[in-house]
């Protein structure tokens, strides 16, 4: 079975890369942002990189847990897709500081670029699956707690259970993005 057939979400690889590069461009002007780099571990649709291969492996395990013998027949929902991709981002940390002899202390957003990237990523996922809604992801006071949670998971990736995290993502969407009944 080809990767494309098994993982329909692979068509997003170029869009995710563009989102990463756009995010990187925005951080370049912040203190320490000039030292921030992007290690492109996404690969291509035809030849996925290690970040996407990690996503594939985790999704396969997840689908087998959820659907058992029908795992190849059913797809997971976008909250689980987002949870697994975020897990891959946090595990491989595609944004990194390349700062030998750094002169400027990087700001928090630059130091935690992988965690902060998850916010525009979630917004993009939410918009893709709520086509009639052009809202923004505004976490308000919850934003700092969400970033701290992501930081904890980055440091303890084995503790990030994709199913539980998908429920958190559902909550974030319901409360902070899409305000009609889901």
* Distance separating alpha carbons of residues 135 and 130, to the nearest angstrom: 9
What CA–CA distance (Å, rounded) separates 108 from 127? Answer: 27
Extended beta strands in 31-125, E state? 36-38, 95-97
Averaged pLDDT, 18-34: 94
Rounded CA gap, 115 and 70, in Å? 34
Q: Count of CB atoms within 10 A of residue 8's CB?
A: 10
Tokens standing for residue 133: 């809604």
The model carries a pTM of 0.88
pLDDT at 6 over 60: no
pLDDT > 90 in the chain, percent: 57
Q: What is the pLDDT at residue 132?
A: 65
2 pLDDT exceeds 50? no
> Which whole number is the average pLDDT over 104-119?
91
CB of 113 closer than 8 Å to CB of 156 = no
pLDDT tier at 110, thresholds 50, 70, 90? very high
Helix (H, G, I), strand (E, B) or coil at 166: helix
């Amino acid at each position: 079975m080809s990767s494309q057939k098994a993982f329909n979400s692979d068509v997003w690889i170029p869009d995710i890369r563009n989102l990463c590069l756009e995010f990187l461009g925005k951080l370049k002007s912040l203190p320490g942002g000039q030292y921030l780099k992007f290690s492109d571990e996404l690969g291509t649709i035809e030849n996925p990189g290690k970040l996407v291969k990690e996503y594939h492996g985790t999704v396969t395990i997840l689908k087998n847990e959820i659907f058992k013998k029908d795992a190849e027949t059913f797809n997971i929902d976008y909250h689980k897709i987002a949870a697994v991709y975020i897990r891959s981002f946090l595990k491989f940390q595609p944004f990194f500081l390349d700062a030998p002899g750094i002169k400027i202390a990087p700001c928090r957003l630059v130091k935690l670029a992988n965690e902060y990237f998850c916010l525009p990523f979630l917004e993009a996922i939410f918009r893709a699956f709520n086509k009639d809604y052009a809202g923004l992801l505004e976490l308000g006071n919850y934003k700092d707690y969400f970033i701290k949670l992501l930081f904890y998971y980055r440091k303890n990736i084995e503790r990030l259970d994709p199913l539980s995290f998908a429920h958190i993502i559902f909550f974030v969407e319901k409360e902070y993005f899409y305000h009609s009944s889901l």
